[in-house]
Chain A
Amino acid sequence: MATHADAVEAHGHGHESAHSALAHHFDNLEQQREAGALGMWVFIAQEVMFFGGLFLAYLIYRMKYPTAFMAASNHLDWKIGTFNTAVLITSSLTMALAVWATQVGRSRKVQVGFMAATVLLGLVFLGVKAYEYNDKYVHGLIPVAGLFNPEPKLVQEWTEAGVTVQNVQMFYWLYFAMTGLHALHMIIGVGIIAPIMWFAWRGRYSPEYHAPVENFGLYWHFVDIIWIFLFPLLYLLGVHFGKGH
């Protein structure tokens, strides 16, 4: 089964006589693997700063309008959010297992099976999000000028709490921007895993060479981490609304 070899970089004394996946400018597969992983981590660092800008905006406006944010968050269904969180965490598990399957040389069926599970769970997540967005649209909570028409009952509830409609709208645009960007990254992820699954089905990945699967796994887990923060920040604020702050 799995070995517990030390993961400190080994000296690349590869004797592979040009593995078909070895690019011409690398000396051996180990160097190529190292470069690929490093490249993906650097890319993830850049993505953290990309989302970071949105988290900054959230932080500033949350500090300015705490009650408004709680009131607005009240109308996000935390049960759906929790379900989606569980779905995404499970997809992270199946992705980790997909990487494991290539690492230990399990059959193509097992590899593709885990990847397919990941895709399926990802699509479930996106489907649920689409349902949520539609729900917001139906209730007039899309934060675009001209489309933001919340029901009078809601408006009254907010006015009674001393919160302006504009500040609530601020929350909703943050909600759409952050979850929208997150969903876009998931869609891109699903798009990237498709060719990887194809190659896995063709038997391309083995214990010697499975870098694309591993690196995609890093990307997928990163998307999961973003959601781990989005969920409490967006969905779990409004639970105390009404009890006073």
Chain B
Amino acid sequence: MSEHIVPRSTYFIIFAALLVGTAVTVFAARIDFGPMNDLIAMTIAVTKMSLVLLYFMHVRYSSRLIWVIVAAMFFWLVIMLTLTLADYGSRDRFGPQSPSNYTL
């Protein structure tokens, strides 16, 4: 067969890393980094996700087509989040205050 077989040891290492990551994110949440809170939490989450994607889901050993699909997944999610934020992020922020209940 042509597929790459990931050794069990790799799986255990990744598993340990994921548990460590979970512990780190819990401890980091207890410290107030101010505006960096979200960034740190998301960085840890993205790292954990990457480990699952690359090793548990074998993306590291998959064809370029699979990489393109995974990249496209993120790209589209980012489009949806970013362009909607373009609206919400720019309301009431520039120009004269419009009468509204939103306080951003």
Contact = CB atoms under 8 A, between A and B. Distances in A.
A and B touch in the complex (CB under 8 A): yes
Interface in B59-99: 61-63, 65-66, 69-70, 72-73, 76-77, 80-81, 84-85, 88-89
A208 interface: yes
A86 B19 contact: yes
Identify the interface centre among A7, A64, A78, A207: most chain B CB within 10 Å of its CB.
Answer: A7
A141 to B, nearest CB: 21
A95 B66 CA distance: 20
Given A45-B72, A59-B81, A97 B41 contact: no
B4 A52 contact: no
Given A225-B53, A236-B29, A3 B5 contact: yes
Contacts of A21: none
Given A9-B2, A56-B80, A229-B45, A100 B8 contact: yes
Nearest to A78: B26
Given A96-B56, A100-B11, A10 B2 contact: yes
Interface in A54-73: 55-56, 59-60, 63-64
Given A100-B11, A104-B5, A225-B53, A82 B26 contact: yes
A49 B11 contact: no
Contact of A96 (B2, B11, B62): B11
A217 B56 CA distance: 8
Interface in A110-148: none
A243 B32 contact: yes
A218 B57 contact: yes
Contacts of B25: 231-232, 236
A225 B52 contact: yes
Interface stretch (A34-42, A151-159, A193-201): A34-42
Q: Give chain A's interface secondary structure class.
A: helix
A188 interface: no
A56 B81 contact: yes
A240 interface: yes
A47 to B, nearest CB: 9
A86 B15 contact: no
B36 interface: no
A21 B94 CA distance: 62
Contacts of A204: none
Nearest to B5: A2
A100 B48 CA distance: 21
A89 B29 contact: no
Given A44-B73, A64-B103, A224-B52, 17 more contacts: A1-B7, A7-B2, A7-B3, A7-B63, A8-B2, A38-B65, A52-B80, A60-B85, A89-B15, A92-B56, A221-B52, A222-B57, A229-B45, A231-B45, A232-B45, A236-B26, A239-B30
